[in-house]
Structure 1
Amino acid sequence: MTTIPDKMKGVYLTGFGGFEKLAYHTDIPVPTPKKGEVLIKIGAAAVNNTDINTRIGWYSKNVESGTNKGGSTGFKDVNQDGSWLGQALEFPRIQGADGAGTIVAVGDGVDQKRVGQRVMVRSVQARPSTKKGIECITFGSECDGSFAEYATALDSETFAINSDLSDQELATFPCSYGTANNLVWRVGVKANDTVFITGASGGVGSALVQLAKVRGAKVIGVVDPGQEDRVLGYGADEVLHRGDDFVEKLGEMSVDVVLDMVAGESWPQLLKLLKKGGKYGVCGAIGGPIVKFDVRDAYLKDLSLFGTTYQSTESFEELIKYIEDGKIKPVVAKEFELSDIVAAQKAFLSKKYIGKIVLNVAHE
């Protein structure tokens, strides 16, 4: 039987701002699972754009630049809307949208047989929809997440997985791959589509490449110089460089689908690449959220535009099946100790790594 301590190691986010807002502690109370919840001993976590964005308040409508411009110091004019839901964030908060581990205890109403299961937590979690439409929260934003030795999560949002992969490898999947598979699922990527993927060397980008290939698509990925071989190695059929003139390289109306998490200055080219009746899907804007949009590019070509944050249960279950069947592979770029979270986030912001930055938690 696993002995559960009273205190744990973890990282508190103490407010919006720079790296100084990340506080490593060794005496955080271990949470107790409430009714309908499980307690997970976290083996490993991973760093994502959403962790950076939440720390610096990038979701505030006052912020118009890309993530990296405020990644180290934060932004000056962040309102209380600097969270996924546009509501005031509660501090201190244990972040961490990505994590993998083992259930060690359950709350009332949860089957005791779940104790001992290896699990991943769905990063973007469903809540009852309102008159405004789909409602959801993000693990590590509206509730405490995986940047600690233990975390609680809803039983319904905690998915068992049967895999020989390590916790470090499994920790790369929930946020990036969950986001990516939901985007591919929602856009409807199919066999023989030509799919153009921005940011193809990052966590979500590398996931999108693999998931589009699983569906039989041809993939063109955008990378930084020096990243070509790795991106081609996990499935891309062709690569272009960030800063290239995409229309000049590929020609107008040359792709069926664009999957984007960058936006920024190159965005107007993306709609020009799409064929008539093409599909544009977006799940991020790390290059900057404010773009020049000629509406005629959309309506004169009968384009469909998709935005996604919410992760459907069906797409997340499909992702788990892909992992268990070995159809997709984790891309671990570098590992850090949880206490070195600032160094891990600096490495993430450098954009020099292909794949995910992982935090070792269990042996801290």
Structure 2
Amino acid sequence: MKAFVMEAGQFKLKDMQEPEAKSGEVVVRLKTAGINRRDLGLLKRYGDNPEALVVGSDGAGIIESVGEGVMVFSEGDEVIINPALRWFANSDAPPAEFDILGMPDHGTFAEKIAISAEQIERKPAHMSWEEAGGLVLPALTGYRALFTKGQLEKGQTLFIPGAGSGVATFLIQYAKNTGARVIVTSRSEEKRQHALRIGADRAIATDSNWVEELADETVDLVIDSVGGATFNRSLEALKKGGRIVIFGATTADNVDFNLRSFFYGQYQLFGSTMGCREELRDLIAHMEQYTTHPIVDKTFALDEAQEAFDYLAAGKQFGKVVLRISE
């Protein structure tokens, strides 16, 4: 089978042996797979390892075979992959055995994948293959950050620095479904307009003075994945006693902030990573209830995977970048 892999310090398209379903597993013939920013950084972590490893966390397809003991799923079922491995029940933090699909396990940028039946869910019927293939990692990350950690409620105001990521597009839609007000930022006027079209109430320029721009707003919750470049600015825009959730750090891992101002302001700071199967099932029910569709920016063929990586790395997207693996 064709697969996009890491091998000896580089990404490449390669023929790999087809997987077989062991006990408790299924083989899924993948139709689509979503690219995430996580994938872009894997090569640096994998180094010069000569053993080919299939990249990719998200995917959707049709079950081709089932292993011994699998009772819930059958051949021909349409499913999505849950890349949050071995985290099933909601908890304050992931269990020690938690990992994300796509390293060290073979991932989804291949024609087929063998995976535990505990790591798949039925594909939402209202979604296309392109929508379903890029769903879980960003949708689950956003759902946990917004509801489990951020505790967003109807009538509150959510502020999102950065409007174009896959997670941000889910945050906007979830929050509007809940009856919240949503404000986003972006350097790009085009992305600001996109955000407004999918439900954001207000979109301001990233390089503007946020305190001045939002002087007439009461921001209850900030969800920030940019990191060092925006953390203090986000904190300044947040109301006293407000909540800020961090799930990423695309600009810098470390940040300095004034502890005295922080504790006098009674702010609440939360970290968040991915989510569990229980939350995934809740978010699927949420999206089905509101007939919410993932935002797909652009689709590439599997043999265009490197081009798709370059496109995502350039930050050109609004929403998900998806690989089309089979018709």
State TM-score, norm by structure 1. Answer: 0.82
Amino acid at match of 2:278: E
CA contact (8 A) 2:140 2:283 kept: yes
Partner of 2:25: 37
Q: Deviations over 1:297-350 (max 9, x none)?
A: 432222221111141222200221233334321211111111111110111112
Amino acid at match of 1:345: F
Trace 1:42-121 onto structure 2 (pairs within 5 A).
Answer: 42-57=30-45, 91-111=51-71, 113-121=73-81
Trace 1:87-236 onto structure 2 (pairs within 5 A).
Answer: 91-111=51-71, 113-127=73-87, 134-135=95-96, 136-186=98-148, 187-223=150-186, 224-236=188-200
SS at match of 1:101: strand
* Percent of aligned positions that are identical: 28
Partner of 2:289: 325
CA 91–193 in structure 1, closer or farther in 2 if over 3 Å, else same? farther
User: Is structure 2 residue 19 aligned with structure 1 residue 24?
Assistant: no
CA 90–290 in structure 1, closer or farther in 2 if over 3 Å, else same? farther
CA contact (8 A) 2:55 2:103 kept: yes
CA 296–115 in structure 1, closer or farther in 2 if over 3 Å, else same? farther
SS at match of 1:286: coil
Structure 1: where are the runs of 5+ without partners?
1-7, 58-79, 83-87
Q: 1:287 offset after TM fit, Å?
A: 2.1
SS at match of 2:60: strand
Q: Deviations over 1:264-304 (max 9, x none)?
A: 32221111222222111111111222222222343222222
Trace 1:216-295 onto structure 2 (pairs within 5 A).
Answer: 216-223=179-186, 224-251=188-215, 254-295=218-259
CA contact (8 A) 2:224 2:247 kept: yes
Structure 2: where are the runs of 5+ without partners?
none
Distance 2:88 2:146 in 1: 24
Distance 2:265 2:52 in 1: 48
Q: Deviations over 1:107-159 (max 9, x none)?
A: 12102742221111112223599xx9623110112311110000122111111
Distance 1:121 1:202 in 2: 20
CA 113–359 in structure 1, closer or farther in 2 if over 3 Å, else same? closer
Amino acid at match of 1:97: S
Q: 1:229 offset after TM fit, Å?
A: 1.8
What is the RMSD computed on CA atoms of the aligned residues? 2.4
State TM-score, norm by structure 2. Answer: 0.91
SS at match of 2:229: helix
CA contact (8 A) 2:126 2:291 kept: no
